[in-house]
Amino acid sequence: MKNKKKTIRLTKLYKKWYILLSASLFLTLLISFFSSTPFFKDIELKMLDYRFQLDPTPERADTNIVIIAIDDGSLDFFSENGISWPWPRSFYGYAVNFLTEAGARTVIFDMQFYEKDIEREETTAEETDNIFADAIKNNGKVYLGVQLLKDANYIHSKVNEFSINDQQTDLPTFQGIRAPIEPFLINNRSIGIINTAPDNDGMIRRIGMQFKLREHYFAQMAYRVWLDEYKDVENIEIPVDKNGDYLLNWYGQNAFTTYPFRALISSASAYMNNNEPVLPLDKFRNKHVIFGATAAGLYDLKSNSYSKVMPGMEIWATALSNYINCDFITITTGWINFLLTLLIIFPIMFFISNFLPKKANLIILVLFIFMLLINFTLWKLYRIQLNFTMQIVGFIISYLLINTLSYLLEGKSRREIRKIFTRYLHNDVIKQLEDEPDKVQLGGKEINATVLYTDIYNFTTLSETKTPSELVQDLNEYFKKLIDFIFQYEGLLDKYTGDGIMALFGAPIEREDHALLACRAAFAHKKLREELEKIQELTATENLHLQTRIGINSGLLVAGNIGGEKRMDYTAIGDTVNLAARLEGVNKIYQTNIIISQATYEQVKEKFICREIDSLMVKGKTKPTCIFEIIDERTDETDSSKYEWIEIYEQALELYRKGKWQQAGEIFQKLCEEPYNDTVSQVMLTRCMYLLEFPPKKWDGIIKLDVK
C-alpha cells in the first residue's frame, strides 16, 4: 500500500510545470555541452549540407563570374589535333589576349605555373612562356594561383610585394611556396592562395581568408580579387569564425556560366584571323573569368555539399560571388540556440505528461513541423543557420525520456487493459484501442476508393497436375510477386480469394489518386506478363501470371474495421466492390487481362491509353456500365501512332451499337487479322455474326450478363 501511495505521489509530482522546467533546463545544458564535441559538430555539418541540397539558389550566383573549364572534351579536342597535355603556354596567352579585347574585368587562374613550359619540336619553352607572359602584362588584371608549403624553399622577392596589411594573428606559418615562374610573377596583377583544408569527411565547407608565409600575410584567391576590386567601394565586413575561416554559401551545382576551354581558344583563333568567334566578345565584357580544370585526370576535383566531384575553381567562384553580393551565412550565437532548444524540450515534456497521448502527440507533431519550418524559412530567406542538431537531439531525448517516465509510472493501467481485452479482441485492434480508441468501431466509414480484384483463369485445370504441396508453393511465389505490385503503389491487401486477391487503393488513408495507383499496379503486372510472353519455357509460377485477370472499379464504398465483437478486420463492402469482382470475371468473355469501369477510366484517361470495349449490365445491377481495357501508359516516349487501331475499333463499336452489324463486322474482321490480331475484335465479330442471324426484337447495344 505504501509503495502504491508513493507511486501516486511521484506520478503527480513529475507533472508539475516547475519540475518539468527544471528538468528541461538541465537537459538543455547537457545537450549544449555535448554540442561542442567533434561528433555533434560533424552532425551539424551534415545538417548544413542537407540545407544546401534542399534549397539550392543558382539564381543568386553572380552572373558576372564566368568559368572556363579545362574539361575532358577539351583534352580530347586537342589530342585529336596532335596536341597532348600539358598544352603550350601560348594557348593561355591567346586566351588572355582574347579576354583583354573582350574587356574582361579580371582573369583568374586556379592553376599553378611554377615550372617552365616543356620543350616541343615546333616551339621552345621560352617562346611559349613569353607569349603567355606578354599576354598577362598586356591584360594587367591577371591573378595566378599559388600554393603554400610547410617545407622551406626559395621565395622570389616579387612574392612579398603581394602581401596584405590587415593581418590576422594565430595563423599557422608556412615556409615555402609554389609560385609562378618569374616572367609570369612580375607581370601579373597579384597572386592568390589556393590552399584548401577539407573537413573530417573530406568536404570543402570553409576556406581560409589569410595565410602566413614566414613573416608576411597573403590573401586567398577570391579574397585577393575582392580586396583589389571592391574593398574600397563597399565597406563591408566578411564574417569569419574564430580560426579566420570563411563559411561558403554554396549556390548549387552548375550555378555559374561555364564554357569549355576549346570554345574559348577557338574563339580566340577566329578573332585573330578576323573571323566571327564562337563565343562573342560581349559574353566576357566586365566579367570575372576563372580558369580551372574539370577533367578527372587533372586531379583538381573536390567535394562539397552538393557533389562528391566538384571543380576546384568553383570554390573561388562561389567565394567571390559571396563577397561581391554580401551573400553570407549567419551563424546564430550559443545563447540563441540554447533558448530555442529549451523552448522545444519543455513543451514536449509538459504536453506528454499532462495530456492524453493522442492530443499530446498531435501538439508535438505541430511543434516538430513548426521547428522544421522555422529552421528552413530562416535558412531560405536569410541564410540564418540555427543549430538544428541541438534542437533535434533535444526533441528526441526529451520525447523518449518523458515517454519512458510516463510508461514506468502510468503504463501499468495500459497493461491491465491489454490483459483484460486480449481474450476478446484481435491484437491489431487492441493496439488501436490503446493508441486511438475512437477509431475502433464495428461500423465503417464511407469513402471514395478503388477496388482491384484478381483471379487466375482456368486455375482448376492448371492445378490438377500438381500435388497440394507443389500447388501451395507455386501460389505463394505467385502471390509474392503480385502483392509486390500492390504494395509498390500503396495499395492495401484486403483479402485472399482462393487463387486471387482483393486490394484497396485510397484506404485506410484517403487519397485522390487512388484510381491512378490501382491502374499503375495493374499495368506493372501487364508489363511483367508481356515479358513472360517472350519466354518459350515458363515455370509454373510464371504461367500463373500469364493467366491472371484483373478487374478495377472506383466509387463510394464502406471501409473500416468490420466484424464481430471478438474479431474485426479492415475490409470494404458495397456495390463498388461487387462490380470490381464482376469485371474481373468479364475478362473471360472478351479474352482480356485488365478491365476497368467507366468510373475508373474517367480518373485515369489522361495518364493511360485505354480502349472502350463494350457496354454491359452485370448481374444484380439495373444500370449499364462502359468497360475499358488498359493498353499503355501515356508518357513523353509513348508513340501514339501505334494505337491508331483504337479509333478503328471505336468506329466499329459505334456501328455495332447502331445495329449495323454487317458494317461493324467487316471492320472487326480487319482488326482480327495481321497486323492487329485483336482478340476482342474476334469476340465482337462472332457476336455480330450471331446478331445478323438472330436479330433481337429490341436493340440498345447493351449486353446483359446473367452470370457472375
Contact 247, 329 (CB under 8 A): yes
Give the list of residues 6+ apart from residue 681 with CB closer than 8 angstroms, or none.
Answer: 649, 652, 668, 669, 671, 672
Q: Give the span between the Cα atoms of 45 and 329, in whole angstroms.
A: 13
Give the model's pLDDT for residue 384.
96
**For residue 205, how far is the Cα from the chain centroid?**
22
The secondary structure of 381-434 as a DSSP string is HH-EE--HHHHHHHHHHHHHHHHHHHHHHHHHHHHHHHHHHTTTS-HHHHHHHH
Cell of 128: 611559349
pLDDT confidence bin for 432, thresholds 50/70/90:
very low
For cell 510545470, name the residue. 17
Domain 437-637 has CATH 3.30.70.1230: yes
> What pLDDT score does 234 carry?
63
CB 398 within 8 A of CB 27: yes
- Interacting residues of 565 by C-beta distance below 8 A, sequence separation 6+: 424, 442
pLDDT tens per residue, range 284-318: 999 999 999 999 878 677 888 888 888 899 999 99
Cα–Cα distance measured from residue 471 to residue 15, given in angstroms and rounded to the nearest whole number: 60
| Mean pLDDT computed over 615-629 | 85
- HEC string of 173-208 equals EECEEECCCHHHHCCCCEEEECCCCCCCCCCCCEEE
**Does the pLDDT of residue 414 top 60, yes or no?**
no
pLDDT of residue 494: 82
Mean pLDDT of 442-465: 81
Beta bridge partners of 146: 193
Alpha carbon 314 to its chain's center: 24
What lies within 8 Å, CB to CB, of 304 at 6+ separation is: 203, 204, 205, 248, 250, 310, 314, 315
Report pLDDT for 52. Answer: 95
End-to-end C-alpha distance for the chain, whole angstroms: 67
Lowest-confidence region among 181-195, 299-313, 573-587, 594-608: 299-313
Phi and psi at 170, nearest 5°, equal: 60, 35
| CA 139 to chain CA mean position, Å | 45
**pLDDT of 569:** 65
Q: Cα(310)–Cα(198) distance, rounded to whole angstroms? A: 13
Give residue for cell 593581418: 167
pLDDT digits (tens, 9 = 90+) for 126-164: 999 999 999 999 999 999 999 999 999 999 999 999 999
Report which of residues 398 and 708 the model is more confident about.
398
| pLDDT 10s digits, 503-532 | 989 877 778 999 999 999 999 999 999 999
Which strand (E) or helix (H) includes residue 647? helix 645-657
Helix axes 661-672, 679-693, angle to 10 degrees: 150
Cβ partners under 8 Å of residue 436, min gap 6? 358
User: Which grid coordinates belong to 441?
Assistant: 468501431
Please tell me the distance from the alpha carbon of residue 582 to that of residue 575, in angstroms, as a whole number.
Answer: 10
At 70 the pLDDT is 96
Phi, psi of 467 (to 5 degrees): -80, 160
Comparison of pLDDT for 351 and 298, the residue scoring more: 351
- Cell numbers at 634, concatenated: 501515356
3-state secondary structure 71-114: CHHHHHHHHHCCCCCCCCHHHHHHHHHHHHHHCCCEEEECCCCC
| Integer Cα distance of 602 and 611 in angstroms | 12
Grid cell, residue 136, equals 598577362
Strand partners, 213: 174, 216
State the cell numbers at 333: 550565437
DSSP states along 12-80: HHTTSHHHHHHHHHHHHHHHHHHTTSHHHHHHHHHHHHHHHHHS--GGGS-TTEEEEEE-HHHHHHHHH
> How many angstroms separate the most distant Cα atoms in the chain?
112
Number of neighbours of residue 579 by Cβ within 10 angstroms: 24
Q: Any idea where the domains of the chain sit in the sequence?
A: 2-34+333-421, 58-325, 437-637, 644-708
Query: For residues 635-658, b (16+ Cβ closer than 10 Å) or e, as one string?
Result: eeeeeeeeeebbebbeebbebbee
Average pLDDT over residues 572-593: 91
What pLDDT shows up at residue 493? Answer: 83
pLDDT tens profile 525-537? 999 999 998 888 8
Look at the block and give the residue holding cell 484481435: 426
Contacts of 478 (CB under 8 A, 6+ apart): 456, 541, 544, 545
* Per-residue model confidence (pLDDT) at position 527: 93
- Those residues with Cβ within 8 angstroms of residue 619's Cβ, 6 or more apart along the chain or in another chain: 582, 705, 706, 707, 708
Specify the DSSP class assigned to residue 332: P
CB atoms within 10 A of CB 303: 16
Question: Phi/psi class of residue 592: alpha, beta or left (left: φ > 0; alpha: ψ in -120 to 50)?
Answer: beta
Q: What is the overall mean pLDDT for the chain?
A: 88
Torsion angle of alpha carbons 320, 323, 328, 331, nearest 10°?
100
Distance, in Å, from the CA atom of 427 to the CA atom of 440, rounded to the nearest integer, reads 12
C-alpha cell at 150: 610547410
Measure Cα distances from 577 to 246, 447, 456, 459, 505 in Å.
Answer: 64, 12, 18, 22, 12
Sign for the pseudo-dihedral over CA of 576, 581, 582, 584: positive
456 vs 482: CA distance, rounded Å: 12
Four-point Cα dihedral 107, 112, 115, 118, nearest 10? -70
Structure confidence by residue, pLDDT tens digits, 207-236? 999 999 999 999 999 999 999 999 877 678
Nearest CA-CA partner of 224 in 235, 242, 211: 211
Q: Find the range with the poorest average confidence among 212-226, 281-295, 420-434, 594-608.
A: 420-434
